Structure formats: structure tokens, C-alpha cells
Structure 1
Amino acid sequence: MDKAAAAQLLPPVGLIAQHAGAIIMHYYANMDEAALKLEMKDDNSPVTAADKAASDYIVQALTELTPTIPVVSEENDTDPSTASGAPYWVVDPLDGTKEFLARTGGFCVKIALITEGRPVIGVVYSPVQDVLYMGAAGLPAMRQIGSGAVHTIQTRPATPAEEAGTLRVLFNQTHADPALYDATRERLADILRLPETPAIRPGLPRNLQVAQGTADLHVGTGRDETLEKGGGYQWDIAADLVILQAAGGNMQRLKDGGDVVFAAPRDRLPSYIAYGDAALRYRLTFD
């Protein structure tokens, strides 16, 4: 997809994410147990009526916007056919359902377009904070707070912070396998002078904190105790990755430093490190 086509798609996809956020906020303001229709999925993660309503809206809106591009949503029971290399949308209509239920504000809407195995458009909207992030291959990363102006964002150089011992490293401790979390921290402490993990503003995805220069690294490990399957699914990180790359950063596999590759939509992705400065690449592998 060329830059002109991406630039044309970004604004309407951003609006779709914001409208989905408004649907979610309707449920957030009225946390009635019966209306939420809480269920547990096969992986023991929760799903609510808010997830499903946002998913239904996004799938319909994206289908109307790009009728020839299939849409894969986390909350769909079946997926449309996705030809090898052909573009498709991946959607996490409510990333952070547990945080939604706990009323922490730590949830968001994620939409990404993937083509030829890599994400090329990404939109993330945090409805509680009313912050919209957008990015596309070949274009700058952008952030809009409320109805304010759209501003570009970029990562920050790591060398001055590393020399000063002030690198900001974020960990997904809540969802990480405890043994893998401890091993990761110890390994990174051998390579970098790590400060204490800083406080995280609820609702702002850690990868995007790297993208906007308020953190330097995010270690993406999940409940799986191996490095091969700890990074979640495509809908969890595809939009983040596009925005991070547009801001000057990237992600690498935690185990060997290779690129994160997007194959089948529902394949588990490897644990990863998101970094803001390419100077950190290859220093952070676990092989």
C-alpha cells in the first residue's frame, strides 16, 4: 500500500475506533451485570457485551469502508478467508477487558491492516483518556488528545538516558509468567542499568509509551512460560507496531532478536521487546 492510500484510510479508521470507544463507554458508564452479559472464553479470558457490540460495529464499518478487504476480529467465532499475502484487517475491539471490568481505565480499541505478513496501518484509541494514536508505513506517527490538533510523535534517543542510568523500561508484570518475568528482568539488568519500573498512566498501551518517547523499552511477555508464544495475538500488537515504527522504533523477538512475523491471524506471537532507539537492537536477545 502506497503512502497516499494509507493517508486516505487513516482518518476514517481513526473515526471508526473513536465511535467504537463511544459504544464501550456507554457500557462503562452503566456497569450493570445483566447488561454486560459476562462470559469466559476457552482461554479463561473474559468477554462482555461491550466487546461484542464494539466488534460488530467495527467489522461492519470496516467492511463498508473497504469492501474487498476481510476483517478478523478477536471476538468473531469464524474468520473470513485470507489469501496468502492479501491484505486483511485485525481488530481488538476492547483490548483490556479485565481492566474494563475493574474500572481502571486501562483499555483501548485497536485496528490494524496487515498485508504480505506485516502491519501497514495502525490505529489505537483509549476512550477513557480520549487519546487517538495513528500510524502507517511511510508516514509519521500521530497522536490526538480529545478534539485537539493532531501532532506527530517520535521515540527518544536511548544513549543519553542509558549513560545517565535513567532508561525507562516497562514490563507487563500483570500478565507475565512469573518465572519468565523474573528471568527477563535479571537478563536486562545484566545488560542495562535499569531503574525501577515507572508508574504507568492507565489506558496508555506500553508500546505506545515507547512510541511517544515517555519510555525506552517495553518487554512483551505473556502467561506462556516460553518465549515462542508469550507475545499475544496479531490484534494485540499489530497496530502498536505500525505506530511504533512510524515513530522511529521497532519490535524484536525476545529470544533471538529477529523480526516479529505475522502469519496466520490466530497464531500466537513470540515474546518481544519494543524499543525506541535502534541502538538497543541485538543487545537484548536471550539466545
Structure 2
Amino acid sequence: MTAAIISDWQADIDLIAAAAREAGAVASTFFGQSPQVWWKNEGRSPVSAADHAANECLEERLRTARPSYGWLSEETDDDLGRLKSDTLFVVDPIDGTRAFIANKPTWCVSVAVVHRGKPVAGVLVAPALGEEYSAVAGGPALKNGKPIAVAAFDPAKKLRVATPMDIVNLFDAPLRGRIERVEHVPSLAYRIAMVAEGRIDATFVKPNAHDWDIAAADLILQQAEGRLTDLDGNALIYNRTEVTHGVLCAAVEGELPALLERLAAVPRG
């Protein structure tokens, strides 16, 4: 890690961390209060008054501070003018809205700075858990200010995985026998952060994850010495015309080859 790279984005990580905390405080005023909920994407995805309020907070704070940056948020109509921006904010005001409206604490505010397709600063703030994950390109992954790292690779141990059972059923018997499924966590960003701090070893992602779900968590995992990849083992590119992704795997580095080989049976659509 180099001081020069870190210093390039240090002001941005400080900015987005402060903004995410502020948005988390705004969202928290709705938590447990039965906020109004609407359904989007043909009734498949909930969005609450808290999502909108947190988004407004983030947009005002961040776009005012960096007017030259592009903007991509789950709760803002997409403007393809962002493609002309080398640098942009990628935001999910509440990742884990289903958990939020069910009064479960595993939701977070996710904010990333993406530069030329790669996340260079990222923060996840989980107010109901009192947790904050962050990373800047070239620096350590942090949880509440302390360095974190993925679990040590050990092919003999149980593999703690956050995944639907239908994906587990695609694996051969030896791998199925190693997998220890963990309780479902609706927030994809938080699941990836769990891999980054070694609480689980991997999580599988079905098709249609969006940039805003994963950009910040992707960087945090990278800096914790893990990886989030597509089925071909490629790192993800952000701020494309299409902001959705296919099947993904976030894991401890040593586990990836075997997991990706087995995941090849999953439809890529």
C-alpha cells in the first residue's frame, strides 16, 4: 500500500463517511416506526420513506461538496450523463430495505467513490448495529476504525457461506458436505462485509445485483484480502451503461477456484 494512493482519496473517504453517518441518523428516525412503503420493479423491491429521506441527505451533502462528480443511486432516476464522469458517487441509501421495514438491524448505508470503473473509497454504516466499515484504495479495510481481514484459508474446515439453498444443491457432495449455511442476511453489502472481517468465508450472489449494492463492499473486501468476482474470476467494472451484474462470488482468495468451478452450473442470465 502506498501513501500517495491513499492520500489521493483520503478527503473523499472522510467526506463519504461523514455523509453516510448523517444519512444513517436520518434513516434511524424511521426505524421501528412503520414508515410508508412502496413497491417498485413490478412489485419485487420495497422502498420506504426512510430510503428517500436518506437519499436526499446524501445527494445534498455529496453533490454540493463534489459538483464535478457523477451520481448513481438506487433511489435517483439514472442519468447516463454519469458515463462522461471519470469519478462518481455510487450510493444505496439503505441496503437491506426488507430488513429495515421488518425492524431487523442488518441494514446499512452504502456509499462508494468510483474512479474509472473501480471503487477507490467505500463506506458502509450500519446504525442499528453500531458498525462502520470503510476502505480507501491502497489502505486497510477497517471496522469501527480497526483493521479487519478475511478468515485464513483452510481447506479442511467447514465453509461458512451465506447462500440460498438452491445454489448449495448445485454443488457436488464433497463441497455440500463442507458448507455450513448461515442465516440469510437481506443486505448484500453487509454480507460481503461479513466475508471481509472473517465472520463467514463466502457469499454467492444471484444475477441482478446493482452497482450500488456492491461497489463500497467490493473495495472493503479487496482491502481485507478477499475478492468479489464474476464466474470467470474477473473483477467487476462499475459505471457502465448497464449497472446490473450476473452471478457473483465473494470469498476468501483460496476458496475461489473451487467455488467458481461449481458455480459455473448457475444460469448467468
TM-score (norm 2): 0.87
Structural mapping, 1:38-53, within 5 Å: 38-44=37-43, 45-53=45-53
- Closer, same or farther: CA 265–213 of 1 in aligned 2, 3 Å: farther
Deviations 1:29-72 (A, max 9, x none): 432xxxx3322113421111111110011011111222211221
Q: Does structure 1 retain, via aligned residues, the 8 Å contact 2:114–2:120?
A: yes
Aligned identity (percent) is 28
| Structure 1, gaps ≥5 residues long | 145-149, 174-180, 222-229
Paired with 2:172 and 2:99, the residues of 1 have a C-alpha distance of 28
Q: Which moved more, 1:82-91 or 1:62-71?
A: 82-91
Q: SS of the counterpart of 1:187?
A: coil
Aligned alpha-carbon RMSD (Å)? 2.3
- Is the 1:169–1:194 contact (alpha carbons within 8 Å) kept by the matching residues of 2? no
How far is the alpha carbon of 1:81 from its aligned partner? Answer: 1.4
Report what 1:253 is aligned to.
230
Q: Is the 8 A contact 2:88 2:113 kept in 1?
A: yes
1:22 to 10, 22, 25: 25
Q: 1:218 matched to which residue of 2? A: 203
Q: Which deviates the most, 238-247 or 73-82?
A: 73-82
- Asked if 2 retains the 8 angstrom alpha-carbon contact of 1:6 and 1:136, the reply is yes
What residue number does 1:196 align with? 180
* In the alignment, structure 1 residue 280 sits paired with structure 2 residue 255: yes
Q: Is the 8 A contact 2:9 2:121 kept in 1?
A: yes
Q: Across the two proteins, how many residue pairs are aligned to each other?
A: 257
For the residues of structure 1 that align with 2:215 and 2:83, how far apart are their CA atoms? 18
Instruction: Point out the structure with the larger strand share.
Output: 2
Structure 2: distance between partners of 1:7 and 1:193: 44
1:152 aligns with 2:128: no
> Are residues 199 and 41 of structure 1, via their aligned partners in 2, closer, same or farther at CA, if it must alter by over 3 Å?
closer
Structure 2 gap segments, 5+ residues each = 265-269
- How much has 1:187 moved relative to structure 2? 1.6
Measure how far apart 1:200 and its partner are. 6.4
Residue matched to 1:147:
none
Q: CA deviation at 1:184?
A: 4.2
Q: Residues 274, 73 of structure 1: CA spacing in aligned structure 2 closer, same or farther, 3 A cutoff? A: same
Partner secondary structure for residue 11 of structure 2: helix
Contact residue 18 and residue 125 of structure 1 kept, 8 A: yes
Q: Deviations over 1:1-23 (max 9, x none)?
A: 93202222212211111111111
Q: Match for residue 114 of structure 2? A: 114
In structure 1, the residue matched to 2:62 is 62
For the structure 1 residues 237 and 25, does the alpha-carbon distance in structure 2 shift closer, same or farther, using more than 3 Å as the test? same
Q: How big is the shift at 1:154?
A: 0.8
Q: Which amino acid in the other structure matches residue 203 of structure 2?
A: H
Compared CA separation, residues 82 and 134, structure 1 to 2 (3 A): same
Distance 1:113 1:266 in 2: 18
Rounded Cα–Cα distance in structure 2 between residues aligned with 1:26 and 1:18: 13
2:9: which partner in 1?
Answer: 6
Change (3 A) 1:201 1:88: closer
CA shift, 1:168, in A, is 1.4
Q: Could you tell me how far 1:191 is from its partner in structure 2?
A: 4.1
